[in-house]
Structure 1
């Protein structure tokens, strides 16, 4: 029994690793994107060991310095090393992106299952979802931050809430399709409890689309956090983040454009890399996309 369970786990791990390797090396652009994203993530995780200067230390004597051997990307208006702040800023932006994707997918999955399987919940919940989707996401995020105050958790909630309706609609459509399948109807006729039907038959049909949707939510959350911080509605301005760095540097753009351009470039590259990986995951998990790629 133990040997059989252990042997079943190992092939599953090998298959997952093989699939991940296949996705990463599915094309040169995807491989480059994966490499760049890996460098960005490792730089954020190991920031305290690789940055040359303290990212929050004020040094008025070296303010607005151009790039040099000491300050690789120059300094900001307070004399802080721009390279160190960008590396540390990746921690906040990546945490917000990943956490918002996880929270939105989990909450959207639960609500989507209920909406797609239980009729009366569908009628009420989807009208609420339609109402949320009618509000521009950035305006809704700004309103939430303005009401609750700027903090990391507030920004995370403000970014997650506008993303949940999209996940709910996706899961609901998948559940509505899957519940008409013969095996689901057989489970219902056999008196199988609702939660078991959802766990065994409905949730597995949503995993692949949710993984793909999660990558896009992650990229969108990183961009939204940068926009909120740039507009002054994000996290504490003293905390290094890509949006905060650009917000502080916009006044001095003509003196030192790098304060805005460098973090903006990092945001763009990160989002592009995530989207490329998301497209690769979609092609790998969707047989129709893989067939279309073979035909081309």
Structure 2
């Protein structure tokens, strides 16, 4: 019987804190990305204590003000502080991004394990997956929001559903390869149950690929939420979100381009930071990467 060699954070080789430190300091780019992402997350979590102004308070006398000591990034067409609205908008984007990643990975993992290991389910599940993947993400999300109405839960579901098939196909491909390994064949010959084989022998192989896929889904969900809100098919316009801020400011772009540029820059930086950090985590969890580190 051939032993399965999979590195996971809890295998006793290094402490979780040491592993986090190794990931964060693996390169200057990853360190900067981690720092930026930490600032965005902490700012969103502690928004009531960070923002200098009420993000929804209307002050028409201060509309379209340029950046100043009072309004760091200026104000929008209703006199609301742009910096405060961007900070509060991060709450919506991070909740949608993290929620979509968790739900899509959890759902796709289970379906992918079933499709990859149970042969008679494979054809049924994969035809359903192919049908969903044939519909563009944005169009499917807009259709779901149009049917169920705007709201954070509707947007979250609309973003999650198109991502599940991609996770299913990823997990299925890993399982199809792993189930032919000698240790899986030995477990089958020994009479191990299907669920035990999935949990003990197949599931660990999916961890590293799912890490990078989960970060991609999180970044993609933040972008899709901004697009939906910008098109008026996402979060309620009264709720501060990065997409809503840009949607409201596009009419006044020539007068005050910062209303669109600043939230757009924050969206881009957040997505880039998440992807860089995801790549670093993937490299740390990949057994081949770990082996290269030992060889050096």
Q: TM-score, normalised by structure 1?
A: 0.92
Deviates more, 1:286-295 or 1:38-47: 286-295
Q: Does 1:185 pair with 2:189?
A: no
Q: 2:239 is matched with which residue?
A: 239
Q: How many residues align?
A: 287
Q: Distance in 1 between matches of 2:187 and 2:246?
A: 55
SS of residue paired to 1:255: coil
Q: 2:58 is matched with which residue?
A: 58
Contact 2:77 2:252 in 1 (8 A): yes
Q: 2:37 is matched with which residue?
A: 37
Q: 2:139 is matched with which residue?
A: 139
Q: Distance in 2 between matches of 1:252 and 1:136?
A: 31
Deviates more, 1:211-220 or 1:279-288: 279-288
Q: 1:104 is matched with which residue?
A: 104
Note the C-alpha offset of 1:293.
9.8
1:176-219 deviations in whole A, cap 9, x for unaligned? Answer: 11111122112222222211111111111111111111111111
Q: 1:194 is matched with which residue?
A: 194
Q: 2:4 is matched with which residue?
A: none
Where structure 2 has 5 or more consecutive residues not aligned to the other structure, the ranges are: 1-8
Contact 2:10 2:16 in 1 (8 A): no
Q: Distance in 1 between matches of 2:10 and 2:119?
A: 41
Q: Distance in 1 between matches of 2:166 and 2:16?
A: 27
Q: Distance in 1 between matches of 2:222 and 2:86?
A: 14
Task: Supply the RMSD in Å over aligned alpha carbons.
Answer: 2.0
Deviates more, 1:204-213 or 1:245-254: 204-213
Aligned ranges for residues 52-131 of structure 1 at < 5 Å?
52-131=52-131
Q: 1:153 is matched with which residue?
A: 153
Q: 2:24 is matched with which residue?
A: 24
Q: Distance in 2 between matches of 1:10 and 1:248?
A: 47
* CA distance 1:292–1:257, shift in 2 (3 Å): farther
Q: Distance in 1 between matches of 2:275 and 2:21?
A: 17
Aligned ranges for residues 268-283 of structure 1 at < 5 Å?
268-283=268-283
SS of residue paired to 1:180: coil
Q: Distance in 2 between matches of 1:259 and 1:23?
A: 35
- Name the one with the larger helix percent: 1
Q: Distance in 1 between matches of 2:147 and 2:175?
A: 35
Note the C-alpha offset of 1:282.
2.3
Q: Distance in 2 between matches of 1:178 and 1:49?
A: 50
Where structure 1 has 5 or more consecutive residues not aligned to the other structure, the ranges are: 1-8
Q: Distance in 2 between matches of 1:62 and 1:46?
A: 26
Note the C-alpha offset of 1:285.
2.4
The runs of at least 4 aligned residues of structure 1 exceeding 6 Å deviation read 290-295
Contact 2:54 2:81 in 1 (8 A): yes
Q: Distance in 2 between matches of 1:103 and 1:280?
A: 22
Q: 1:5 is matched with which residue?
A: none
Note the C-alpha offset of 1:291.
7.7
Note the C-alpha offset of 1:13.
9.7
SS of residue paired to 2:281: helix
Q: Distance in 1 between matches of 2:19 and 2:270?
A: 23
Contact 2:245 2:260 in 1 (8 A): yes
* CA distance 1:17–1:264, shift in 2 (3 Å): same
Q: TM-score, normalised by structure 2?
A: 0.92
Contact 2:47 2:88 in 1 (8 A): yes
